[in-house]
Amino acid sequence: MSDSITSLTPFALGHGGVETIHSRVSCVEQRLLRITYLAKGELGTLKIPAKCSPRRVDRLWEHTCFEAFIRADGDPSYCEFNFSPSSEWAVYAFHGYRDGSALQDERWSPEIVVRWGVDRLELDAVIRLDRLSTIRSGSTLRVGLSAVIEANDGTLFYWALKHPAAKPDFHHPDSFALELTFSSQSG
């Protein structure tokens, strides 16, 4: 699998001080997937969670966070990964559309690295694909990448590769817009 570089687009309601969000997905080692998000804009207008010790926390999507939804092509089951700039994280497993629950196992813990600049926020997250039982070497992966951006006034703005519904819905099957071929070899 080679690097895939994409841009997220804001939902019709606005962008919340962020001008662009780019993402890059790459396989860094066998069964490890790195997802990099780069948000550029007026960071002073945003509520960005303060750095803390990495830990599992639910409901990260209520504040600024980045998300990845991953499934094998043709399989209705998928996983949702939430990555906060605080280094908090969450993972959820779904049997089908919004039919699932949180995974409490700390072995799901992604590696999260955050870098700041005056007008940029970059988050790298590395996740282990060997935890996803439906993904095998040679699988075509369907990936949905998204971000929730919280303005200082508490307003939430939604960014994604694709917005297929009348309201933001990162779980919508058509939002898994990035297609990747996964091999057991690093690439």
CATH number reported for the structural domain that contains residue 67 in this entry: 2.60.40.1190
Would 187 be classed as within a structural domain?
no
Model confidence pLDDT, tens digit, residues 10-46: 998 778 889 999 999 998 776 789 999 999 999 999 9
Would 76 be classed as within a structural domain?
yes
Assess contact for 148 and 156: CB atoms under 8 A. Answer: yes
Nearest-5° angle of CA 70, CA 61, CA 4?
A: 35
Q: How much is the pTM?
A: 0.93
Percent of the chain's residues with pLDDT above 90: 72
Would 186 be classed as within a structural domain?
no
The mean per-residue pLDDT over the stretch 54-83 comes to: 95
Would 104 be classed as within a structural domain?
yes
Would 96 be classed as within a structural domain?
yes
CA quadruple 177, 183, 184, 185: dihedral sign: negative
Number of domains in the chain: 1
Would 131 be classed as within a structural domain?
yes
The residue range of the domain holding 131 is 4-181
Would 86 be classed as within a structural domain?
yes
Higher pLDDT, 77 or 139: 77
* Model confidence band, residue 50 (pLDDT cutoffs 50, 70, 90): very high
Alpha carbons 179 and 171: distance in angstroms, whole number: 16
For residue 29, list its beta bridge partners. 32
